[in-house]
Structure 1
Amino acid sequence: GGTISKADRPRLNELGVAAVFGPGARTGDVVKFVRDWAAEHRAG
């Protein structure tokens, strides 16, 4: 665990990280992102 700095986020995106959720992120927002991402990238 740990906190990802805002300065590191652009590089993570370049490396393929789809999103970074920081402290205070709402669980519902994280779940919605994961569901939406999975629906877009589902094989088949």
Structure 2
Amino acid sequence: IQITKVNDVYMRKYAFSAKQKQILECVGVDEKYINNLVLKYNNFIGKK
């Protein structure tokens, strides 16, 4: 997963491909979980 910084906010650089989504499903992780991790990272960085 590539993360990019836009206006001091980190976000995923690319949408997941169908294959990546399939892999995430196999390991029981959904896209929202990844997005939430990125949000938490933003909050963590913002507190520094």
TM-score, structure 1 length as denominator? Answer: 0.42
1 or 2, which has the higher strand percentage?
2
Higher helix share: 2
TM-score by length of 2: 0.39
